[in-house]
Amino acid sequence: MKANLYHQLKRESERLVVRPYLFNDFALCKSSREARLEQQNQFDSPVNISNSWDKTQFKNKVMAHREKAKSKTQFIFGVFDKREELFLGQVDLFTISSVLKWGNLGYNIHNQFWGKGYAKEASEICLKIAFEDLGFHRVEAAMDIENLASEKVAQKLGLDFEGVRKKFLPDELQDMKVYATNHKDF
Ligand SMILES: CC(C)(COP(=O)(O)OP(=O)(O)OC[C@H]1O[C@@H](n2cnc3c(N)ncnc32)[C@H](O)[C@@H]1OP(=O)(O)O)[C@@H](O)C(=O)NCCC(=O)NCCS
């Protein structure tokens, strides 16, 4: 996979820009995190996790993303509105097998922006990055069987339902639904 491209990756849709974080995204990301509503469900991050955030931690996080991309472990992207005035959330590709060019798609939108189609639009860009820029062959999205919003996003993306992985998570023993596509079908 062409991981050396990571820092150059930037793709747009009608409303969004998806790209790796820059150090100077700190203020935008912090204000968006602080504007989140109360935790909406068990899959939403608790609001207080951003309280201790500072510029150095953000910079370290961005550098860690770059290391992960370098090692082809994970490719993490911020989701911004077209004018880059709002930080909306994050999408990522996690490498499950580099031999099989098989990855996992993750999506997370700050809850004040839910229900506007941003997760679907950002994930669609992320899949284009996966197949056209990074050379993945197969990408799946796996979610808790009760995470209906996440499942709806996978369905709206046109991913195929492949089944349920029983007791998939090592500690919680959660069952996970799996949706997937590949570079031919997408
Ligand atoms: C899942 C998540 C990314 C969706 O973000 P979003 O920007 O609101 O998603 P979209 O607007 O693109 O689409 C959401 C769809 O789910 C539907 N939906 C939302 N909550 C739902 C629920 N409880 N039951 C069924 N459908 C639901 C919406 O109606 C919408 O479908 P529609 O466009 O047909 O009306 C967001 O809820 C989130 O960040 N959740 C916390 C993190 C998470 O669960 N990530 C996925 C981990 S696998």
At 50, the pLDDT band (50, 70, 90 cuts) reads low
Band of the pLDDT at 168, cuts 50, 70, 90?
Answer: very high
Q: Which of 107, 144, 174 to mutate to test the pocket of ligand 1 (most atoms within 8 A of CB)?
A: 107
Phi and psi at residue 11, to the nearest 5°: -130, 155
Q: Closest ligand 1 atom, CA of 120? A: 12
Tally the domains of the chain.
Answer: 1
User: Which segments within the chain are labelled E, that is strand?
Assistant: 11-12, 16-19, 74-81, 87-97, 102-109, 138-144, 160-165, 176-182
**Parent domain of 164:** 3-182
What is the rounded CA–CA span in Å between residue 95 and residue 111? 26
Confidence at residue 3, expressed as pLDDT on a 0 to 100 scale: 55
Quick check: 125 and 19 in contact, CB under 8 A? no
Substitution site in 113, 123, 150, 157 for ligand 1 pocket (most atoms within 8 Å of beta carbon): 150
Residue given tokens 């009608």 in the structure block = 14
Cα–Cα distance for residue pair 20/152, rounded to 1 Å: 25
Q: Are 11 and 122 in contact (CB under 8 A)?
A: no
Tell me if 44 CB under 6 Å of ligand 1.
yes
Q: Is the CB of 127 under 6 A from ligand 1?
A: no
Is residue 136 over pLDDT 70?
yes
Q: To the nearest whole percent, how much of the chain has pLDDT over 70?
A: 95
- CATH number reported for the structural domain that contains residue 22 in this entry: 3.40.630.30
Q: What pLDDT is attached to residue 47? A: 82
Residue nearest to atom 48 of ligand 1 (CA): 143
Q: How many residues does the chain have?
A: 186
Mean predicted confidence (pLDDT) in 14-33? 96
